[in-house]
Amino acid sequence: MEYRTIPCEEDDEELIEEKLDAIDRSILPSKEDGEEELVFKIADDKGNIIAGCVLEIDCWRNAELDILWVDEIHRRNGLGSALIRKAEKTAREYGCRMMVLGTFDFQARPLYEKHGFSLCGTIKNWPRGHENYTLVKRLDQPLKEYYPSTDCSAGFRIEPGTVEDGNYICKGLGDYNTSQAARAHKYISLDQKIVDEDGNMIAAVIAGVGTWNDLEIDMIWVDEPYRNKGIGSRLLAEVEKEGKENGAYFSAINVFDWEASLFKKHGYSACVTIEDFPGEGHRTYELEKRFSE
């Protein structure tokens, strides 16, 4: 049978995500049907957002502190700590047992560690000359809350935010990150799919070269009748080749333990390991493969 590799179409990513979610939930049944994204903001007396965070809660009731940002003139006044405490309190109210987050060496790792987060892995030299850390905290264990010595947060109120507020907070953090490590280019999408002779999608990869020249593989999916035929390996090899041609010096993907074998077979190794995540007895990995430095 003849297969063709072509670019993905607009709705393909959502369809692939649904199919992979169904596989994940068949292996580890979810506690809830959907996921939650919560935005919290702090505004000044004129209504301008000066700090905020984005908290994501998955279907297994794990929390990720995805974004935390404080405007430069308001840093070191306890606003970041107040937002972390708010995010943790909210995650516990949702029944979350763990919270994870990522941070760079030019961001707030020491602050998170003061709040009880522990390092569980490092991506070295990303962006170039820097390091990225993954930290985790158990929320099902009582820990004393941290309050910084300089704490002006009592003069401000943390409020729920909108999607637009979340975008503003994300942009604030993104601008700060760019000031610390210049971006090489805009994101380069490499999404592609394999179709049969009738044009039906039988496999796909969602990936791209990030702004700091990393090949970001979000998802690889192969329809069940076509598994164990080398199709996933073919997709991975093709997207790695295109990634290198577009300047990527390493590849990375976040996977659960039941998804890792394909990548490990092709030279990927774990730089981050989160135990008992997304559920007891399982692991989540950040896998990487270096092309060059």
Pairing of strands 250-256, 214-222: parallel
Rounded distance between C-alpha atoms, residue 90 and residue 92, angstroms: 5
Contact predicate 144/70, CB 8 Å:
no
- Does the predicted TM-score (pTM) go above 0.85? yes
Where residue 292 falls among pLDDT bands split at 50, 70, 90?
confident
Cα distances (angstroms) measured from residue 128 to each of 78, 85, 258 = 30, 32, 31
Q: Token pair of 261, please? A: 């074998």
Q: What is the pLDDT of residues 112-162, one digit of tens each?
A: 999 999 999 999 999 999 999 999 999 988 777 899 988 888 889 999 999
Name the CATH code of domain 4-28+184-290 (choices 3.40.630.30, 1.20.1250.20, 3.40.50.300, 3.40.50.2000). 3.40.630.30
Dump pLDDT digits (tens) for 241-255: 999 999 999 999 999
CATH topology identical between 4-28+184-290 and 36-180: yes
Pairing mode, if any, of strands 49-57 and 36-43? Answer: antiparallel
Q: What is the pLDDT of residues 156-171, one digit of tens each?
A: 999 999 999 999 999 9
Domain ranges of the chain: 4-28+184-290, 36-180
Q: 259: which residues sit within 8 A by CB, 6+ positions away?
A: none
| Other beta carbons less than 10 A from residue 185's beta carbon | 12
Rounded CA-CA distance 156/151 in Å is 11
Predicted pLDDT at 1: 63
Long-range residue pairs from 61-64, CB within 8 A, at least 24 positions apart, any chain: 61/31, 61/32, 61/94, 61/95, 61/96, 61/97, 62/96, 62/97, 62/98, 62/99, 62/100, 62/277, 62/278, 63/87, 63/91, 63/94, 63/96, 63/98, 63/99, 63/100, 63/139, 64/99, 64/100, 64/101
- Cis ω for the linkage preceding 127 (within 30 of 0): yes
Based on DSSP, count helices (H) and strands (E) in the chain, helices before strands: 6, 15
SS3 letters across 128-177: CCCEEEEEEEECCCCCCCCCCCCCCHHHCCEEECCHHHHHHHHHHHHHHH
Homologous superfamily of domain range 36-180: Gcn5-related N-acetyltransferase (GNAT) (3.40.630.30)
Q: What digits encode the pLDDT tens for the residues 180-207?
A: 999 999 999 999 999 998 899 999 999 9
d(CA 143, CA 112): 13
pLDDT averaged over every residue in the chain: 95
